[in-house]
Amino acid sequence: MSAPSELRLQCPAQPRYVPPIRHALAAFLEVLGFERREQDDVITAAGEALANAVEHAYAGVSDETLRVLELLARLDYGGTLCVDISDRGSFIVRDPLPGRGFGLRIIAAIAGKTSIETSGGTRIRMQFSGPARNG
């Protein structure tokens, strides 16, 4: 790899923007040489984080201009893919509901490493091995 690569996106935190973000991430991963299975894992984990931000981060915030969602995906020199999903809302710890609350567990099961920062909003950072190279 000659240099790190990066994708940055920012949009309103609304459900209709999640599919285009996922498609952009898929295209980025394709360009980087990730195999389809690897892409699916990254997109699934990122999709869970995006859905959580859209659904939970801005509870009680009616001003749409304050509801922002950000994605930063980057492949570093060492070949590690790091995907950050950020919002400017509040991280809410909730009691489990039947059939709900699996998003963070899915992310943790898929990503090699995860962390959550909750100061000034919420940022979920997911790290993945770089693209598999054939040959």
Residue 41 has pLDDT above 70, yes or no: yes
What tokens does 129 get? 């091995």
Among the residue ranges 9-23, 28-42, 49-63, 113-127, the one predicted with the least confidence is 49-63
Structural domains in the chain, sorted by start: 5-129 (3.30.565.10)
Q: What pLDDT shows up at residue 2?
A: 46
What is the structure's pLDDT at 56? 81
DSSP-derived 3-state class of residue 37: helix
In which order are the strands placed within the sheet that holds 122-129?
A: 5-12, 68-75, 80-87, 122-129, 113-117
102 pLDDT band (50/70/90 cuts)?
confident
The token duo for 5 is 């690569």
Residue 135 has pLDDT above 50, yes or no: no
Residues 61-78 have pLDDT tens digits of 777 777 899 999 999 888
- Write down the pTM of the prediction: 0.85
- The neighbouring-strand residues paired with 115 are 125
